[in-house]
Amino acid sequence: MHFDSSRVKSDGKDKKVSLKKKQTLHFVYLGSMLELLNLIGAELKPAQDGHWLDQIEPATGRVTGRLPRSKKADVDEAYSAANEAFPIWSVTPIEHRAACLRNLAALIKQHSDVLAHAESQDNGKPISLAKSVDIPRAEQNLAYFASAIEQFSSEAHIPAGPSHINYTHRKPIGVVGCISPWNLPLYLFTWKIAPALAAGNCVIAKPSEITPVTAWMLSQWVLEAGFPPGVLNIVHGLGPEVGQAIVEHPAIKAISFTGGTATGAHIARTAGPMFKKMSLELGGKNPAILFADCDFEKALQTTIRSSFANQGQICLCSSRILIEDAIYEQFRDALVSKVKRMIPGDPMLSDTKMGAVVSASHRDKILGHIQAAQLEGATLLCGGHLAEAPNDRCEKGYFVQPTVFENAGPDCAINQEEVFGPVITLQRFHSESEALQLANSSNYGLACTIWTQDLGKAHRVAAGVESGIAWVNCWLVRDLRTPFGGVKASGVGREGGWSALQFFTEPQNVCVSLT
Ligand code: NDP
């Protein structure tokens, strides 16, 4: 691999910055168990108070390692390292920052097999999904924001016959916090740190304690990629402890958070009165709206994917399937017959399409939603139970059958609360306006999918749906330049493209007299 070097100009001096030589992976094993460490400054280290958390493989229920249970003292130390690095990193030439991001992207690519294996083991997702989606997208996130920062620009306002000119100076914010969830671990972790670093900030990042391994692997390549010590710090531990310490640290100026709506509300209550910049990407209860004139086969195949990919644990998954009356029975029967054939398998096997859900507590939460739906009178069409272990290795794993309900009213809990698992409901509609009414009868507003061959209708429905994202005749197609985020209880702010770079910079208007 070719590593670049470049020059950093600071305080009028030219300083040669060499990118570190390639390091050997030094994953630490305790017997057959992994021992994860925090990255603080240039050091990989345990939590200051020496406490640990178990790391569990969802497909087997086995403890596979341990991670630091970091606290406020560790965040304080990470803050000192980040704050020390900021004066240089914030004025580091854009080409150099971009080169560091590209180097890290290249290291992800180089280690993509080991990362995919780790992601599948840590999360329970099929290894084929980790290989085709999670790890390539983590690489793309870094590579994309390396290019984006090179193209980023800001505005100037020049009146006719000018006596003054105004321009917007977009400055890095300072030390920022990035907190990410467990469902797409490295994918969402890099989606946050890449724009933050590209824009010249120093970062304290916390991956979910449930799926920390790939972020920890990444932490071993940060210096090798050329980032100066302290620019990116990665602290592991529990949300209410180390996450909370990041959010309430008085000198961390912005929080980029992806996770559940209740956690987002809690973070907003803490960080709001401190006037921190916040981007909150939260939960969803996404409708798929199928009109009778849709391409039936394409809509069917994609709806199965949009409902059950990653065991339904993607914030963009469809969970409320709204079907026009004329095709309701035909679509329901075709869907249920296919879903009945979807059997969860060992995530580590290359032909597995559906794996384990992420934890025992999440499995129990999903089963609780299923039971509550039945008590509310919803009709169970398939699934509804624990799935059989696919093999001896997975005997103690967390497997849930893909589950389909009908006859649940729009106000039922199963149509209102985010399950974040392989559970969907089918509802019937008779008109475009009724479809919209059902789609919008939710507190959430992240994404929707619209299936029709009539693009005029698709446009009208997209305009009427309260969501940050609308897909027409497709799902999960992402162009990283587009704004990404939700409305209502799905969050505030937008990530992606210029939106992310704008979030991670502070605009200052500069007015210059020309006379
Ligand atoms: P959580 O809200 O439980 O956790 C998200 C992250 O926040 C984790 O790193 C967690 O740490 C941390 N955290 C928890 N409590 C606090 C706190 N008080 N202060 C700071 N950080 C805290 O979400 P999940 O991990 O369960 O993820 C699933 C949720 O994420 C779903 O609701 C899903 O819809 C949403 N999501 C939204 C996306 C979007 O783009 N809108 C994309 C993907 C998921 P720990 O794990 O240690 O508890």
- pLDDT value of position 31: 53
pLDDT higher than threshold 70 for residue 13: no
Q: Using a 6 Å CB cutoff, which residues line ligand 1?
A: 179-183, 188, 206, 208-210, 238-240, 243-244, 247, 258-260, 263, 266-267, 281-284, 315, 418, 420, 446, 486, 490-491
What is the whole-number distance in angstroms between the Cα of residue 180 and the centre of ligand 1?
6
How far apart are the CA of 30 and the centre of ligand 1, in A?
29
User: Nearest CA to 214 among 183, 186, 233?
Assistant: 186
Per-residue pLDDT of 245-278, as tens digits, reads: 999 999 999 999 999 999 999 999 999 999 999 9
Sign of CA dihedral 434, 468, 365, 333: positive
Task: Return the pLDDT at 205.
Answer: 99
Q: Is the pLDDT of residue 478 over 50?
A: yes
Share of the chain above pLDDT 90, in %: 92
pLDDT at 33: 86
Q: Is the pLDDT of residue 104 over 90?
A: yes
State the pLDDT at residue 25.
47
Least confident of 21-35, 278-292, 374-388: 21-35
Long-range contacts, 463-467 (Cβ 8 Å, 24+)? 464/436, 464/440, 465/287, 465/289, 465/436, 465/439, 465/440, 466/439, 466/440, 467/286
* pLDDT, average across residues 331-335: 98
Provide mean pLDDT across the span 306-314. 98
Minimum-distance ligand 1 atom for the alpha carbon of 259? 30
pLDDT digits (tens, 9 = 90+) for 152-185: 999 999 988 879 999 999 999 999 999 999 999 9
Residues contacting residue 495 through CB under 8 Å, at least 6 positions apart: 191, 192, 195, 256, 279, 281, 483, 484, 485, 503
Domains of the chain, start order: 7-282 (3.40.605.10), 286-478 (3.40.309.10)
Q: Catalytic residues, which ones? A: 281, 315
Tell me, what's the pLDDT at 159?
Answer: 86
| Averaged pLDDT of the chain | 94
pLDDT value at residue 295 = 98
Statement: residue 2 has pLDDT above 70? no
Tell me what pLDDT residue 264 has.
Answer: 98
Res 378: pLDDT: 98
pLDDT level of residue 406 (50, 70, 90 thresholds): very high
- How confident is the model over 273-301, as pLDDT tens digits? 999 999 999 999 999 999 999 999 999 99
What distance in Å separates the CA atoms of residue 64 and residue 29, rounded to the nearest whole number?
10
Q: What is the mean pLDDT of residues 365-369?
A: 98
Identify the band that residue 18 occupies on the pLDDT scale cut at 50, 70 and 90.
very low
Distance separating alpha carbons of residues 386 and 409, to the nearest angstrom: 25
- The widest CA-to-CA distance across the chain, in whole angstroms, is 81
Ligand 1 centroid to 414 CA: how many Å? 21
- Residue of the CA atom closest to atom 12 of ligand 1: 239
Instruction: Please tell me the residue having the least CA distance from ligand 1 atom 25.
Output: 181
For residue 27, the model assigns a pLDDT of 53
Share in percent of the chain as helix, strand, coil (round to 5): 40, 25, 40
By the 10 Å C-beta count (0-12 exposed, 13-18 middle, 19+ buried), 322 is classed as buried
**Cβ neighbours around 111 below 10 Å, total:** 18
One-letter amino acid of 223 = L
Q: Quick check: 44 pLDDT over 80? A: yes
Residues of the chain with pLDDT > 70, as a percent, come to 94
Does residue 306 have a pLDDT over 70? yes
pLDDT class of 4 with cuts at 50, 70, 90 = very low
d(CA 69, CA 360): 20
The preferred substitution site among 244, 252, 263 for testing ligand 1, maximizing ligand atoms within 8 Å of CB, is: 263
